């Protein structure tokens, strides 16, 4: 069983759709990543969410705001048995 799952969202800034400065940027899923890193028995686990969307609001550049929607059921750690456990009601309840 997973003892610790620390999510670290890594979103490639270069994947945002260019717009004029100090405005709203939208993630381009084809050029962006949303990944996670965790551990199981002190072994690292890496994975990604295949389906997500979001924006970065730079209207006030001193207070950037992220709005990200993630389809948790799109979780993929390249290990189907682990993915099934993570998607069940003990973790993300995404079944």
Entry pTM: 0.69
Instruction: List Cβ neighbours of 24 (8 Å cut-off, separation of 6 or more).
Output: 55, 56, 57, 58, 59
pLDDT digits (tens, 9 = 90+) for 25-70: 888 888 889 999 988 888 898 999 999 999 989 888 788 899 999 9
The CB-side HSE value for 63 (13 A sphere, CA atoms) comes to 2
Q: Collect all residues with Cβ–Cβ distance below 8 Å to 67 and sequence separation of at least 6.
A: 54, 55, 57
Answer yes or no: are the C-beta atoms of 67 and 57 closer than 8 Å.
yes
């Amino acid at each position: 069983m997973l003892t610790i799952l620390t999510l670290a969202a890594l979103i490639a800034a270069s994947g945002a759709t260019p717009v004029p400065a100090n405005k709203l940027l939208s993630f381009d899923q084809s050029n962006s990543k949303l990944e996670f890193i965790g551990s199981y028995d002190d072994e690292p686990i890496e994975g990604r969410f295949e389906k997500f969307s979001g924006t970065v609001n730079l209207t006030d550049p001193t207070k950037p705001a992220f709005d990200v929607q993630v389809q948790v059921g799109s979780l993929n750690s390249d290990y189907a048995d682990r993915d099934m456990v993570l998607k069940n009601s003990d973790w993300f309840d995404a079944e």
